[in-house]
Amino acid sequence: MKIAIVHYHLQPGGVTRVIENTLQAWEENGTEIEAVALSGRAYPGDRLPNTREIEGLDYSSPQDAIDPRILTERLRESARHALGQAPDLWHIHNHSLGKNPSLTDAVSLLAEAGERILLHPHDFAEDGRPGNYLSLREVYPRVYPTGSHIHYAALNQRDRGFLAHMLKDSPSPVHLLANAVPPSSPFSASVRENICDLPENLLLYPVRAVRRKNLGELALLASAHHDFHFANSLGPTNPEFTPIFEEWKQFGKDLDLPLTYGLGEHTDASFPEMVGHAQSILSVSVAEGFGLGFLEPWTFGKGLCGRNLPDITSDFAELGVSLANLYDRLPIPLDCISSVTQLRETIQSALEQFYLNYQQDLPQDGTETAFQSIVANDSIDFGRLDEPTQQEIIRAVAQSPELQQGIQKHAGLEVLAEDIIDRNREAVAEQFSLTSYAERTRKIYQELLATEDNISCQFANGQLLLDQYLSPARLNLLRTS
């Protein structure tokens, strides 16, 4: 079986790591698959034995993108040269992300030519990336090819369901293909005998600061739990987020909260030492693609507490990873904010701007739909609010033992028992191993190869996908800019 794997680049990061891990697992298990990885930049690593750099495949704006017919021919020629023949199928990552419309159109040309293709989106232009979406404007009617020779793979059940809805009248199946989680050695608190500059009773949120990581919820939890110290690991690299990050740092200091933003910048301890020292790992993120943060802590030998994302994690529970201690919402009494009218206006303004950014019409009842999804039973889900509203609430909580007790009850933060950690670690090791991932991928390839030759290609209506991601009921004010 000869496979051509395609991605914009092979720089260190998520998609590259997925490709590297897959080829490693095939080799370790003696799987008879020969692959070439085609990318728009030279591969700087040493784990992929067969790569080719393709001019015009890298990130590109609509104005600078090359003719998709030229890119298609370059992909074919490079694959043929690297594999000694035309590939049996193409495995293409993130073709619809809007990073290069020529790749998107080249995929449609391959599909129309009857090539067997596995389309593997990790992220979506339709999901809070209006700039990416608009870069696909000219090619959007051809973004999602369908046919029995074209399969899709999704990282989680939410994306799988959204894709399946769009493709419901087509012969293209959608597979669930969750990423592998390579094993880690459990980090011990004795990694270093004396780590004197790390706070005691640490709940560590091991993420770099970006807006969707919901840093305000760290401050809220810290205002209600004085027996833990809360911290995220790293500050932002995006300069646009730096002012908000600095504001949160000052806010925590002003309220004297047991809280450190960017802990790694205040200690000589390494990341393994921070993890080993922590009582538990914490997550309060409001948006993820695959959800590695819900699986990796167990491989470290640590428990996890905090916010759940059921759209992402429902698969994990079915596979034996218990996340029952996490909360789906963190309800705050509505009277903690000074003006419900102002909240409605904030929601309406955010929705109008968001739909405008996508050049879509806001549904007539959009504001009310969004409001009702955020406010329920006279309470607000804290993680769906913008920073000024979050700060208003935290100030109120810091002054109210009653509110603090309510948050403690709903958050349910605790250090889990060793037997729960061990069971989850075993489930992750079994269900998300490199071997199982490589085997699932191989089976999808076999299904594709078993399809009859078919050059009948149609294109799905991408508006059906956009409508699901853009739904007012999914509005989160931390994801509107």
Closest C-alpha to 333, from 412, 409, 229, 249: 409
pLDDT single digits (tens) 258-271:
999 999 999 999 99
DSSP 60-75: --TTTPPPHHHHHHHH
Lowest mean pLDDT among 73-82, 102-111, 189-198, 412-421: 189-198
Burial class (CB in 10 A: 0-12, 13-18, 19+), 341: exposed
Report the pLDDT averaged over residues 240-244: 91
Alpha carbon 362 to its chain's center: 26
The answer to whether the CB of 88 falls within 8 A of the CB of 96 is no
Q: What is the mean pLDDT of the chain?
A: 93
At 232, the amino acid letter reads N
User: Mapping DSSP to helix (H, G, I), strand (E, B) and coil, where does residue 411 land?
Assistant: helix
Q: What is the pLDDT, as a whole number, of residue 30? A: 82
Q: What is the percent of the chain where pLDDT is above 70? A: 97
Note the pLDDT tens digit of each residue in 346-369: 999 999 999 999 999 999 999 999
Residue 44 has pLDDT above 80, yes or no: yes
Do residues 108 and 75 touch, judged by C-beta distance below 8 A?
Answer: no
Q: What is the pLDDT of residues 317-350, one digit of tens each?
A: 889 999 999 999 999 999 999 999 999 999 999 9
Q: Are 477 and 350 in contact (CB under 8 A)?
A: yes
Helix orientation angle between 462-469 and 157-166, rounded to the nearest 10 degrees:
140
Q: What is the pLDDT of residues 451-468, one digit of tens each?
A: 887 678 999 999 999 999
Q: Where are the beta strands (DSSP E) in 14-63?
A: 34-39, 51-53
Phi (first) and psi of residue 144, to 5 degrees = -120, 85
pTM, full prediction: 0.91
Smallest Cα–Cα separation from 98: which of 63, 64, 130, 70? Answer: 130
Q: Is the pLDDT of residue 193 over 60?
A: no
Tokens of 319: 């596979």
CB–CB of 170/137 below 8 Å? no
What DSSP string describes 151-212? Answer: EEEESSHHHHHHHHHHTTTSS--EEE-PPP----PPPPTTSSS--TTSPSSEEEEEEE--GG
What's at 82, amino acid-wise? Answer: A
Is the pLDDT confidence value at 254 over 90? yes
Q: How confident is the model at residue 197 (pLDDT cuts 50, 70, 90)?
A: confident
Amino acid at 285: S
Q: Tell whether the model's pLDDT for residue 371 goes beyond 60.
A: yes
Whether the pLDDT of residue 289 is over 90: the answer is: no
- Rounded average pLDDT over 130-141: 96
Q: Exposed, middle or buried by CB within 10 Å (0-12, 13-18, 19+), for 118?
A: buried
Long-range contacts of 289-295 (CB under 8 A, 24+ apart): 289/14, 289/122, 289/123, 289/155, 289/156, 290/122, 290/155, 290/156, 290/178, 290/179, 291/155, 291/156, 291/316, 292/179, 292/181, 293/206, 293/207, 294/321, 294/323, 295/181, 295/321, 295/428, 295/432
pLDDT band at 28 (very low <50, low <70, confident <90, very high): confident
- CB burial of residue 105 (10 Å; 0-12, 13-18, 19+): buried
Report pLDDT for 315.
83
Exposure on the CB side of residue 288, measured as CA atoms within 13 A: 24
Q: How confident is the model at residue 411 (pLDDT cuts 50, 70, 90)?
A: very high
| 187: confidence class by pLDDT, cuts 50, 70, 90 | low
- The confidence score (pLDDT) of residue 479 equals 86
Structure tokens at 474: 């999914």
